[in-house]
Amino acid sequence: MTTNGSNTSLPKPLWLLAELTYKCPLQCPYCSNPMDIARYKDELSTEEWIRVFKEARALGAVQLGFSGGEALVRKDLEILIAEANKLGFYTNLLTSGVGMDEQRIKAFKEAGLDHIQVSFQASSEELNNYIAGNNSFEHKLEMARLVKKYDYPMVLCFVLHRHNEDQVEQILKMSHALDADYVELATTQYYGWALHNRAQLIPSQAQVEAAEAVAHRYQEKYKGKMRIFYVVPDYHETRPKACMNGWGAVFLTIAPDGTALPCHAASELPGLTFPNVRDHSIDWIWTDSEDFNKFRGYGWMKEPCRDCSEKEKDFGGCRCQAYLLTGDAANADPVCSKSPHHEQMVKLVNQANSDANSNTAPLVFRNMRNSKRLTEHKWPVFSKS
Amino acid sequence: MSNHFEADDIPQISATFRLQWEEAQDCHVLLYPEGMVKLNPAAGEILKRCDGINSVGLIVKDLQSAFPDADLASDVYQFLDTAYDNQWIQHKSA
């Protein structure tokens, strides 16, 4: 299945995303976590995570993201940061800021944390708190200021969708006022909860174009002071992104229960067995497991990808999007205008264009109650461990 | 010779970057939030000397004695400009 004894051409997992827990004090309806989060009760222990870090580092992983859910929920976060730092990882905490205070920010610094990315839901308190499902805006501002005070690079992240897409200018002004080093204008990715709420989240073409123009204007305006990352949302594109830089090429995600995934949305794909770090070494999972080899390289591709001159640029796009929209994960990502399914994307955007001011269905918020209600009937009778 | 540095200036790695040797990459790398720049051997040799202690003049001298066959002063100044423009290095804060 895998290599012929020589591993020299096998890519290394440079990026390890540690989803420490799916517990989260926020309820953002655009969350890309799986909808069955309530099923993940058996979280890896401190010792198990440390073993994962050691094994991934030995394979060459150098960036480590602490994520979730909300990683701050884990009381052992300080210990995990210290261990990761000792191993030589560049450590990133991707957080809502809820569950953090000055004392913890200081403790993280002492443990060797390199970077804290604070996410906001909007630039206005009202919308932020509505989307987050709690009164977190003022606290987030305070956390952002403390991130600066303790000399971390300040990265702010805003996930854009129909409800905040028109705030990009205010978002960038606010970020500049907070003295941010980087601003990530992330796009909602329609997996998990976001997919469930897609009709209420997808922005219109006009919104996307206006947001892009503002982002580019401010990239010039704040040049040398604040870096602004903006990407056009997939559904509004005609070529797919090089998702995860290719399957099993750079990224390794570990879910709270130890499930290893080539990307954080891959648990939605059918026909994969999802190796668990409790049963296998990271080396085996990365190098030998069937799942990590399934869409590695180009051999799995069908037309129009197989003979496409751009396949080495975008690797056929996102496997999860291909599955969720076409029913077959080996199809071309339907973002691509060469895909026979691309019309579906166009339809969704057209729908959003006409819907923009009339989204009547309520957003389904991401929380354990909704997770149980919507997915419990699908849970396996005997959970894995 | 350089837009940003004189011989007496002291460069240091910017606070938003971390320089380290990566065995798996077999090169020096610059790490920053969620990203990495792989450095070629010459860039690695220069940046590891940008320690906030040595002046550019001393860095050139040190490199010259480590690599006596090359006449590298202008290359070093040129690279420091590139590094500065990429915000990898800054002047040592007073």
Report the distance separating Cα A104 and Cα A82, nearest Å: 13
User: What number of CA atoms fall less than 13 Å from residue B83's CA on the CB side?
Assistant: 32
Gap from B75 CA to chain A (nearest CA, Å): 24
> Looking at chain A from residue 102 to 121, which residues have their Cβ under 8 Å from any Cβ of chain B?
114-115, 117
From B40's Cα to the closest Cα of chain A, the distance in A is 18
Contact assignment for A155 to B20 by CB distance below 8 Å: no
Supply the pLDDT for residue A153: 92
When CB atoms are compared, the residue of B16, B25, B29 closest to A153 is: B16
**Confidence check: pLDDT of A301 > 90:** yes
Nearest residue of chain A to residue B36 (CA atoms): A63
Q: How far apart are CA A358 and CA A352, in angstroms?
A: 10
CA distance B44 to chain A (A): 17
Q: Are strands B18-22 and B27-32 parallel, antiparallel or unpaired?
A: antiparallel
On the question of pLDDT at A357 being above 90, the answer is: no
Average pLDDT over residues B25-53: 95
* pTM for this predicted structure: 0.92
Q: Give pLDDT, residue A145.
A: 97
Provide the pLDDT for residue A356: 59
With a pLDDT cut of 70, the percent of chain B lying above it is 98
- What would the mean pLDDT of A134-163 be, rounded to a whole number? 95
Chain A residues in contact with B15 by the CB 8 A cut-off are 151, 153
Tokens of A110: 């002492």
The whole-angstrom distance between B24's CA and the closest CA on chain A is: 5
Supply the DSSP string of A21-63, one letter for each residue. -S--S---TT--S-TTGGG--SPPPHHHHHHHHHHHHHTT--E
Position A181 pLDDT exceeds 50: yes
What pLDDT does residue B94 have?
A: 61
**A319 CA to centre of own chain:** 15
Q: Answer whether A13 touches B (CB < 8 Å).
A: no
Confidence (pLDDT) at B34: 86
Q: What is the ipTM of this complex?
A: 0.89
Mean pLDDT, chain A, rounded, equals 92
Q: Given pLDDT bands bounded at 50, 70 and 90, which one contains residue B93?
A: confident
**What is the pLDDT at residue A3?**
37
% pLDDT > 90, chain A: 85
As a whole number of angstroms, the distance between CA A86 and CA A105 comes to 18
Q: Encode pLDDT of A35-87 as tens digits.
A: 999 999 899 999 999 999 999 999 999 999 999 999 999 999 999 999 999 99
- Give the pLDDT mean for A215-244: 93
Question: In 3-state terms, chain A is what percent helix, strand and coil (to 5)?
Answer: 40, 10, 45
Asked if the Cβ–Cβ distance from B34 to A65 is below 8 Å, we say yes
Q: Of A7-16, A41-50, A131-140, where does mean pLDDT reach its minimum?
A: A7-16
Name the interface residues of B facing A (CB cutoff 8 Å). Answer: 15-16, 18, 20, 22-25, 29, 31-36, 87
- How confident is residue A7, by pLDDT bands cut at 50, 70 and 90? very low
Q: Do A88 and B20 touch (CB under 8 A)?
A: yes
Length of chain B as a residue count: 94
